[in-house]
Every structure is written in C-alpha cells, then in structure tokens.
Structure 1
Amino acid sequence: MLIDGACHCGNIRFALAWNGEADSIAARACDCSFCIKHGGVWTAQAGASLRLRLREPDRVSRYAFGTHTADFLVCARCGAVPAVVSRIDERLYAVVNVNAFENIEPASIQRAPSSLDGESERARLARRQRNWIGEVEIVEGA
C-alpha cells in the first residue's frame, strides 16, 4: 500500500510503500522535548521503502540534538516535521510522522507512548537498523 504524507505547506512530501495493508499501523509517541513540542508520532516498517521529495530544499532545516545521529526534517515555511533520517554505515534510514499522513484513516493508527531515555548510542543505532525504513530516497526540487 502507498501512504502519502506531507508537511502542512507541501514543501516536504513523502510516498511510503508499506508492505501489506495499512489497517493497523503501530506508532510511537516519543516523550522527548522535541517530539512533544512538534507533535512527533513516528512509524516505520523495516521492509518498507520511502521516497522523500523536498520541493524547495533551501527551505528544509535539518535539526539534530542529543546524540546527533538523526536529522529531523523541519519545513522552514510551515514548521512541520514529517520525517527523520539517520545515516548508519553509509545507509540512510528513516521514520515518518503519522500526523503528516494524507490518505490513511486515523483510526488505523495505534499510538503508544515511548521513552528512549537511557538508551546508549550503540543500542539506538542498532534499533534503527532493525526497525526503521531502510530503503530511503531523497529527491530535491520540483
């Protein structure tokens, strides 16, 4: 199934090729201060593929904090954060914000709280390699 999503103004868009039907999507509501302030509720599927399109790449900020091992893609026009990317061993991994979905019934999203406090950097990167979307393409321009 193809899941479309975007920031509020459409500058950052994504197409997520989800394996199988998306009738129940597990989503992680992170309790870090950034995710709380920006409405970050994340999902990924290890076998999925993601195509991110940055219409105006100069209006996309990459924000890294904490371990500086991931970049939150923040639209400088509307302020929304539809995706996070992390480069691990020369491969790009990603999660997407379910609040940016455009063609999914909200009732199909199973939100659960999540806390990553105390997770070591090594464990964090290993978790991303196991659970995040491992086929990621970023296209810049219209």
Structure 2
Amino acid sequence: MGGCRCGKVTLEVELASAPGTYCPRACDCSFCRRHEAAYLSDPKGRVVIRTETAANLNIARQGAELAEFLFCAACAQLLGAHWQDGAQHYACVNAQALFARESLGNVVAASPGQLSAEQKIERWKALWFPAFSVITAKA
C-alpha cells in the first residue's frame, strides 16, 4: 500500500515475490532526480490507483513523451508512470510513494534515456505491471 503525502490518492500494489527481492530503479534523468523517483514494477504483479475523483490526478509527459507520469494534483507527489499499448496498460510506481518502502531491496541506477523509443517500450512490456487500473469513486 501507499499513496501521496496528502492522502487524496492511494496505491494498492500486489507483488508476486517478497518485497525485499525488488530493487527500485532510480532513473538518472533530471526529471526523475528532481522528484527523487525510484521505480518499482513486477510483470507478474498488479497496481491500482484509487482516488475520489479523476481531477485528483495530474498527468505529465517527459523525455520521449511515450509514458504518462502520474502526480497527485493537490500535493504534487509523483506516484508512477503509465504506458498504454492498445487495450493493454503497463505501469510502474514510485517507491517513494509506498508506505513500506524500507522493506524493498536497495535502489539501483537506471539510464533509460540511453534507450531508443522501441527499446523503452520493450523494457516496459518486460518489467512493468501489466495489470494497472485507476478507480475513482466519482466520475
């Protein structure tokens, strides 16, 4: 479980293995460093974002503008990233938004900016949560 600092958005994360076996990836780009992001994902897991209204989520695109970065509209915490391939959704979460982040493995460096758009997409398909949804109480 996790969520933003102000509590308007929550994260439900299901991992296929013990949390300590996952090492969040800290992207070295200026955007991710500015947000102190370290991304967690599991190709056998699931992530659900819950919020009262869709207006509580802000979306931004960075770099190659392929993925959407999801933020709380109220406290501006980076919650994760999302990419859609047709009807299939993929996502990763910012480990900084998880309540039990200290139970995860050590953060490792990543340099996705060095990858082509096609390489990024293949990486996301291989590493990110393939089960992702946003649930709002109000439309």
TM-score under structure 2 normalisation?
Answer: 0.91
RMSD, aligned CA: 1.5
Match of 2:104 among 104, 108, 112: 108
In structure 2, distance between residues paired with 1:50 and 1:130: 16
Q: Deviations over 1:9-65 (max 9, x none)?
A: 122211111113212321101111111111111010100011111223213110012
Residue pairs, 1:1-142, within 5 angstroms: 4-102=1-99, 104=100, 106=102, 108-141=104-137
Do the aligned residues in 2 keep the contact of 1:7 with 1:82 (CA within 8 Å)? yes
In structure 1, distance between residues paired with 2:81 and 2:107: 18
Query: What are structure 2's unaligned runs of at least 5 residues?
Result: none
In structure 2, distance between residues paired with 1:141 and 1:68: 29
Which segments of structure 1 move beyond 3 Å, counting only runs of 4 or more?
Answer: none
Please tell me the residue identity of whatever aligns with 1:89: G
In structure 1, distance between residues paired with 2:46 and 2:89: 11
Query: What are structure 1's unaligned runs of at least 5 residues?
Result: none
Do the aligned residues in 1 keep the contact of 2:9 with 2:56 (CA within 8 Å)? no
Please tell me the residue identity of whatever aligns with 1:116: P
Q: Deviations over 1:67-109 (max 9, x none)?
A: 221111111211101121111232110001111111x251533
Do the aligned residues in 2 keep the contact of 1:88 with 1:125 (CA within 8 Å)? no
Identity, % of aligned positions: 22
In structure 2, distance between residues paired with 1:13 and 1:57: 12
